[in-house]
Amino acid sequence: MPESKTTRKRVLITGAAGAVGQGVRPLLLPRYALRVMFHRTAAPTDPDEEVVRGDIRSLDDVRRAVAGVDAIVHLAANPHVEAPWADALAINIAGTYHVYEAARELGVRKVVLASTNHVSGYYELEGQRWVTPEMPVRPDGYYGASKAFGEALGRYYADAFGLSIICLRIGSFQPRPQDRRHLSTWLSPRDLAQLTWRAIESDVRFLVCYAISGNTRRYWDITSAQRVLGYEPEDNAEEFAGELEQSTEIDMTDDFDAPLPEDVLKTFEAG
């Protein structure tokens, strides 16, 4: 880690008021100088965080947010599995284009895209468990399809313009697993923070990898994250198996852009 604040890379986080943003920002702040982008919803900030306001749907707003940073962690999206086409198009598709294009114009070489397991969601819906990043995409809705577009557009910007684009297919991001499915799909805050900083620091031109913790029952392949980024998961949902195996509720959503409830925020603040 850098020795002083003056040597830290400046990193922009879009969608910083969402659950992922609030969950990982405190864990990234010791390592980076963070610029956080809010739209209508704001969240508590650290005195060391720089706050910018803007709409991801506006290329001019994104340019202003991107100017002067070393890397971008792009979280802003409508993350609901059943997001309507209008939101998927304007926020997820056009918004991701704005981030890549602003990065290209302003010379920012690194973008970490918050993609989703719903890019391949139909494999799971049809009962196929083991899925790797190399398999053809099979989105389970407009949301998943919009993130598949973000991955493909990232491949183009990497090849055509030399950007380094790392796409993290985020699983079930929670402070702790909540149901039986999460025994396979859980992603803890500190494991996502590790994946994020490893992606920022990597010199890889382009990569797609699943972002989950080291769950014993995982059925998404995290080999590329381990081999290419050096990812070493610290958490395993199996620790919670005893209390979750009897659960009948299955949560397929990825509401990681929604503001966190107050009790969850206190969990993060308590470490």
Whether the pLDDT of residue 264 is over 70: the answer is: no
The pLDDT confidence band at residue 42, using thresholds 50, 70 and 90, is confident
Mean pLDDT for the stretch of residues 206-215: 98
Among residues 143, 157, 210, 231, which one is catalytic? 143
User: Nearest Cα to 33, choosing from 81, 1, 75?
Assistant: 1
Residue 225 has pLDDT above 50, yes or no: yes
Which pLDDT value is given to residue 2?
54
What is residue 44's DSSP assignment?
-
Which residues in 79-235 belong to E strands, given as ranges? 110-116, 164-170, 172-173, 186-187, 206-211
Torsion of CA 168, 171, 177, 182, to 10 degrees: -140
Per-residue pLDDT, 5: 65
In a 3-state reduction of DSSP, which class is residue 197?
Answer: helix
Q: Answer yes or no: is pLDDT of 43 > 60.
A: yes
**Using alpha carbons only, what angle is made at residue 203 by residues 92 and 149, rounded to the nearest 5 degrees?**
20
Q: Where are the domains of the chain?
A: 5-269
DSSP reduced 3-state for 243: helix
Q: In whole numbers, what is the pLDDT of the chain averaged over residues?
A: 90
Tell whether the model's pLDDT for residue 150 goes beyond 70: yes
What's the pTM?
0.89
At the top level of CATH, the class of 5-269 is: alpha beta
User: How is residue 89 annotated by DSSP?
Assistant: I
Does 143 qualify as catalytic in the annotation? yes
pLDDT at 137: 98
Residue 185's alpha-carbon distances to 8, 21, 70, 170, 220, in angstroms, are 32, 19, 31, 9, 8
Reading the block at residue 59, the tokens are 């290329």
